[in-house]
Structure 1
Amino acid sequence: MSTEPPKREQWQWENATAGAAAGFATVAVMHPLDVVRTRFQVNDGRGSHLPSYKNTAHAIFTITRSEGLRGLYAGFLPGVLGSTISWGLYFFFYDKAKQRYARSREEKLSPGLHLASAAEAGALVCLCTNPVWVVKTRLQLQTPLHQTRPYSGLYDAFRTIMREEGFSALYRGIVPGLFLVSHGAIQFTAYEELRKTIVDLKSKGNETKHQNSDQLLNSVDYAVLGATSKVAAILLTYPFQVVRSRLQQRPSGDGIPRYMDSWHVVKETARFERVRGFYKGITPNLLKNVPASSITFIVYENVLKLLKPARRND
């Protein structure tokens, strides 16, 4: 009897590698918009140390003029590290969850099981990477107007946070972060369902009945799928991102955080900024994440296509 593991399980490392490559490509291209988005999100207009920006273009121009390219790429190292690890783990956990749910089923997974798989993967990734996102947020918010000693880099930020605020500070924003699991769940569920629809439509007009679904789709299809699924996820979950960013700000010179917990953020934002406050920075967020999602899935799907034949030839 053969002891060779099932083919799908053999491809687990390909999913992780493709996801990591996709995450790196995404951050490298879109990081300046991420900086702009974060600064908009936390600027509540009430004594913030951040400069005021009129819009996304004005923010990019102002940051470039006052801080140079370094300002636009503030927090780039934790951004790359966090995104690469996150996407790698996400695709790995997501694929593992789908395998587990499909083990006793011959038919395709239902939308509900795709949703459960994505939510499970997102929660595990959130717990693993929250400290990296805290550091990234704080580095992105450092400006010439900052009142406290700036962090000199990734390691200094981790060390300073641990010394001044304790280990728990690395998990600030974990509650809205876990709620943001719904973002990935919505995105991946939409992606899978739209993907099946496109494959079915192309299969009907394709003479090769048994052609692999991967061969029916191209990079344009992956770009459209990634962008469409991302828009749906952003519109539904963006307020959680604002809450998380505001919680992850560095405390002022007296060591007291601006916001104590998630509920405090929600109350203060609703009181002073109304609904608009929960959608601050959504324009650069859409500009960053919609094309970024297209890039991510183009890279992921094409790297996976390259790796699968290599596995078959081993």
Structure 2
Amino acid sequence: MPALGVVGQCQWENGAAGAIAGFTTVTTLHPLDVVRTRFQVNDGRVSNLPLYKNTGHAIFTIARTEGLKGLYAGFYPAVLGSTVSWGLYFFFYNRAKLRYSKGSEEKLSPGFHLISAAEAGALVCLLTNPIWLVKTRLQLQTPLHQTRPYSGFHDALRTILKEEGWRALYRGIGPGFLLVSHGAIQFTVYEELRKAVVGFRREEGKRSFHNGGKVLNTVDYAVIGASSKLAAILLTYPYQVIRARVQQRPNSDGIPRYMDSWHVVKETARFEGLNGFYRGITSNLLKNLPAASITFVVYENVLNLFKRLRTDM
């Protein structure tokens, strides 16, 4: 594939490798995702969530009061969403890069990487927003809730459609589209760091081959993946907080906590200041930095496996 390798002829390989990477990531780090979501929406005023002192305390409290079920709340939509999202993302991303490179193996500029990643992110956001909305609501269910809890993914979908209509499934789509910049930044930084490390290796005269060129090892993929994720998180995290808050379930009277994204911005800025937009960032970093490493390590190695199998056939 273009910047994550050479332009690929079999685009399904990118999608399959991305899907496997996404599945691997979410199954290993889901409890931290639950903690992150609960911190994000807890504005310190009206909340159905327990008060957690820090990430460790949150995990201990959830495990003690809700058990393993609480730590893995929303696991099914998380697995589904992550697997589908990463699969589609890598597929659309590489399709876009192939189109912009016009089939040549020439390296694309950072601008084209950014455009390709943004294009892929927008398509994935549009297709998967309902899954993420359900995941968020399931993760926020606690014994403190007064409304009838969703029994699972399908019950949540049915209930939302019945009580709120299909438009409710797209609550948070605005900040979701803004979060396209997250993936665009992450992939652009990943591409540029990858090229820089390969160039450095060439300068050192280290010889290893990957599709006829230099190859990076597993540690390289892990470090570059985590570094690119860190840059994206620091620049775009407030959008995640806004989306999580606007996607909360309405109260028993059918009134949402926040009417829209702008309402979230105004209320958060007024009552919490800048810190409010970074609630849960510690658990987010603890989850997503290793998650990014795992994702890119699995992705690159699965893609290499596919290519070796194709070559041997």
TM-score, structure 2 as length reference: 0.95
Matching of residue 276 in structure 1 with residue 275 in structure 2: yes
> What is the Cα deviation at residue 311 of structure 1?
1.7
Contact 1:191 1:226 in 2 (8 A): yes
Contact 2:7 2:104 in 1 (8 A): no
Matching of residue 97 in structure 1 with residue 96 in structure 2: yes
Contact 1:199 1:213 in 2 (8 A): no
> What is the Cα deviation at residue 46 of structure 1?
1.3
Q: Secondary structure at the match of 1:38?
A: helix
For 1:120, the equivalent position in structure 2 comes to: 119
> What is the Cα deviation at residue 212 of structure 1?
4.0
Q: Secondary structure at the match of 1:295?
A: helix
Query: What whole-Å deviation, never above 9, does each CA across 1:252-277 have from its counterpart, x for those lacking one?
Result: 00001111111100000000000000
- After superposition, residues 173-252 of structure 1 pair within 5 angstroms as 173-206=172-205, 208=207, 212=211, 215-252=214-251
Distance in 1 of aligned mates of 2:279 and 2:208: 49
Q: Secondary structure at the match of 2:278?
A: coil
Distance in 2 of aligned mates of 1:106 and 1:289: 31
Q: Secondary structure at the match of 1:10?
A: coil
Contact 1:11 1:308 in 2 (8 A): no
For 2:297, the equivalent position in structure 1 comes to: 298
Residues 237 and 217 from structure 1, CA distance in 2 versus in 1: closer, same or farther, beyond 3 angstroms? same
Distance in 2 of aligned mates of 1:62 and 1:128: 34
For 2:151, the equivalent position in structure 1 comes to: 152
Distance in 2 of aligned mates of 1:271 and 1:134: 25
Aligned length: 308
> What is the Cα deviation at residue 207 of structure 1?
6.2
> What is the Cα deviation at residue 160 of structure 1?
0.3
1:25 partner amino acid: T
Contact 2:88 2:124 in 1 (8 A): yes
Residues 145 and 214 from structure 1, CA distance in 2 versus in 1: closer, same or farther, beyond 3 angstroms? farther
Identity of aligned residues (%): 72
Contact 2:208 2:215 in 1 (8 A): no
Matching of residue 82 in structure 1 with residue 78 in structure 2: no
- In structure 1, the gaps of 5 or more residues are 1-6
> What is the Cα deviation at residue 309 of structure 1?
1.6
Residues 109 and 38 from structure 1, CA distance in 2 versus in 1: closer, same or farther, beyond 3 angstroms? same
CA-based RMSD of the aligned residues comes to 1.5
For 1:4, the equivalent position in structure 2 comes to: none
1:130 partner amino acid: N
Distance in 1 of aligned mates of 2:239 and 2:58: 22
Matching of residue 310 in structure 1 with residue 309 in structure 2: yes
Distance in 2 of aligned mates of 1:54 and 1:210: 49
Distance in 2 of aligned mates of 1:106 and 1:15: 16
Residues 195 and 139 from structure 1, CA distance in 2 versus in 1: closer, same or farther, beyond 3 angstroms? same
Q: Secondary structure at the match of 1:135?
A: helix
Query: What whole-Å deviation, never above 9, does each CA across 1:166-220 have from its counterpart, x for those lacking one?
Result: 0000000000000000000000000000000011111222365986476521100
> What is the Cα deviation at residue 108 of structure 1?
1.2
Q: Secondary structure at the match of 1:288?
A: helix
For 1:34, the equivalent position in structure 2 comes to: 33
For 1:253, the equivalent position in structure 2 comes to: 252
Distance in 1 of aligned mates of 2:212 and 2:288: 26
> What is the Cα deviation at residue 10 of structure 1?
3.0
Distance in 1 of aligned mates of 2:176 and 2:36: 17
> What is the Cα deviation at residue 105 of structure 1?
5.8
Distance in 2 of aligned mates of 1:12 and 1:106: 15
Query: What whole-Å deviation, never above 9, does each CA across 1:234-257 have from its counterpart, x for those lacking one?
Result: 000000000000010000000011
Distance in 1 of aligned mates of 2:105 and 2:86: 28
Distance in 2 of aligned mates of 1:213 and 1:297: 20
For 2:3, the equivalent position in structure 1 comes to: none
Residues 66 and 119 from structure 1, CA distance in 2 versus in 1: closer, same or farther, beyond 3 angstroms? same
Q: Secondary structure at the match of 2:272?
A: helix
Residues 136 and 204 from structure 1, CA distance in 2 versus in 1: closer, same or farther, beyond 3 angstroms? same
1:270 partner amino acid: A
